[in-house]
Chain A
Amino acid sequence: MNLFYLVAFLSIFFSLLVIFSKNPVHSVLYLIVTFFTFTIHYILLNAQFLAIVNFIVYMGAIMVLFLFVLMLLNLNKDTEPMKSNLIKIAGVVAGLCLLVTLVGSLRAVDTSAPIVLKNPGIGLVKNLGKVLFNEFLLPFEVSSILLFSAMVGAVLLAKKDPK
């Protein structure tokens, strides 16, 4: 339990640093650390597949993509796009309203007694695969349309017109 609190503290701490650091590259690096703490959370929950996917896809692939975009756009200076104070205040008010709503609803929730999982291996790859290819077969297959459409679109937008 102590380990959980330590990791939870670290997640919140680093995600705050993501928001507050002025330099975009630092933000991305903090985001990587935040995702790493999430990976530890998944391992603590015995969700090994999620942990590995989170490690490889989010920390690896997506973060590299982020850094590439930052490099290409040359944003690595302490540039803050100009925002008027009004927009900042509006953003803070809107965000805090959402926070109050969520906290308000979560406050009413009782913490349940620690649940002993009926099946402790529920997060293992084997069980996940069984669920995915039995119950959730249709969403799994239909996702292929999503990926294919995105692929066609990406090529379409990135290709140079001969004209």
Chain B
Amino acid sequence: MSALITISLLAILVLYLGLFKAKQALLPVTLIGLLAALGLAVSQWDTFAEPIYSGMMLFDKYAVAFSAITIISTLLIFLLSKDYFERISENVAEYYAVILFALAGIIVMVSFHNLTMLFIGIEIMSVSLYILAGIKKKDFASNEAALKYFLMGAFSTGFLLFGVALLYGATGSFDLEAIRSYIIQNPQQVSPIFYAGILLMIIGLSFKVGAAPFHFWAPDVYEGSPALVTAFMSTVVKTAGFAAFLRLFMVCFSPVQSFWIPIFVTFAALSLLVGNVTAVYQQHFKRMLAYSSISHVGYMLFAMISLNSESDSSVFVYAAAYSVASIIAFAVLIVLQRQVGNDSFDSFNGISKKNPFLAFTLTIAMLSLAGIPLTAGFIGKLMMFSRALAGYHIYLTVFAVLNALVGIFYYFRVIIAMYFRPAERNELVVSPLFKFVLAVSAIATVILGIYPDLITRLI
């Protein structure tokens, strides 16, 4: 709770700093505030957690772990934002504030214990993201992204809300524990309205995380939004969406697993297929990342199809691995877009000669995203596959392994372009902050890959 309050107040403080033209203070204040929020969140780690404010929120280990990882990812993204927003317009403080508001919504999403809080959390996050997608006002693609995201997002919110209403109609409560005890007490005669409610919740939440077949907004929105905002969307927002998804289904709906597991199996297989196959055909790095993020949603859905006490830590590890690797990829993308003005695969040619450090970190990120051993991505995929096998979904696992092979193909295109396609080019200038973020993320990826026990047993 104190982390949520800190972040909300920090956003207002940042707005005041913008009002008094304290441009230089924006980034340091934001970083210090986020560190404070991180400390406050982690300090609640081993305390005895129980629902607070008449059962509205619950800061258990799950909530603290996901709050911590979203706050850390946001910190890294803020470090990349130096000089980024200034190029778009004068209103830098407002951009910072809106990102912080989105983070506040995310904290609510990962720690909800009541469906009203889930809804409000998702809305705070989504409304902030609609704005962030459209901050390049003169850029047509950015406008299109914002409008598309807004229309699709508002539509999916309708499904979510309808689902919440039906669940309330069936159980008479918004509280997660109360809904669960309703299922346990009426095992034979769960109201059919309840199932319709679960279906609509699945649709609404799948829209928000971008799982196929509800992924149609994702590529255009990810491509059109400014790169930094896309980085935020595809790391922090996706992690939070999955945290909320898993929390809802683990706490609430696990007694009726047999109803919704086939749905998730279908969604996972479709997301893998659509994401990987379309990513192969992309010629631009950013769009490739957008489609590959759909395929990563497919892998993360594996945690939902055989729920037990390990599901949460497998989503946690996968989300952590995916987030740090994506942050490296987007950092390189920002550098390229700013200095080359193009993000097609050809523009990666010969980077390794002039910028060996940049090429090396991006290689680690690509290896991690592809799931090569000794990187965090491998551990994440391994845990996901073992989840699927634990539920005896053998065909799905085989299918996923095939898709992972396809994934290796398009991730390695970048590496091959960097190392084996020589080209005359100027050295890219990488600022110290970028270097810091790249180094930290790369080290984290490797350490988690070699010694995964650091976080696999956390939750």
Contacts and interface: CB of A to CB of B under 8 A. Distances in A.
Interface of A: 101-102, 105-109, 134-139, 142-143, 145-146, 148-150, 152-153, 155-157, 159, 161-163
Given A145-B101, A163-B89, 18 more contacts: A101-B196, A102-B196, A105-B195, A109-B191, A137-B54, A138-B54, A138-B56, A139-B120, A146-B127, A149-B128, A150-B131, A152-B94, A152-B131, A153-B127, A153-B130, A156-B94, A156-B131, A161-B90
B204 interface: no
A148 to B, nearest CB: 7
Contact of B117 (A139, A161, A162): A139
Contact of B123 (A108, A138, A146): A146
A85 to B, nearest CB: 19
Nearest to B195: A105
Contacts of A146: 105, 120, 123-124, 127
A149 B127 contact: yes
Consensus secondary structure, chain A interface: helix
Complex A-B, nearest 4 residue pairs according to Cβ-Cβ distance, in ascending order = A153-B131, A149-B101, A138-B53, A105-B196
Consensus secondary structure, chain B interface: helix
B91 interface: yes
A105 B190 CA distance: 12
Interface string B126-141: 0110110011010000
A109 B192 CA distance: 6
Contacts of A109: 191-193
Contacts of A139: 56, 114, 116-117, 120
Nearest to A141: B53
B8 interface: yes
A157 B117 contact: no
Nearest to B117: A139
B439 interface: no
Q: Could you say which interface size class chain B belongs to?
A: 35 or more
Nearest to A149: B101
B58 to A, nearest CB: 12
Contact of A145 (B8, B191, B193): B8
A143 B192 contact: no
Given A146-B127, A148-B101, A156-B94, A138 B57 contact: yes
A107 B196 CA distance: 12
B137 A149 contact: no
Contacts of B108: 142
Nearest to B100: A149
Interface string B54-92: 101100000000000000000000000000000001110
A150 B127 contact: yes
B158 to A, nearest CB: 12
Contacts of A163: 89
A49 B336 CA distance: 56
Nearest to B4: A142
17 contacts: A105-B192, A105-B193, A134-B54, A138-B117, A139-B56, A139-B116, A139-B120, A142-B121, A149-B102, A152-B97, A155-B94, A156-B94, A156-B98, A157-B137, A161-B89, A161-B90, A161-B137
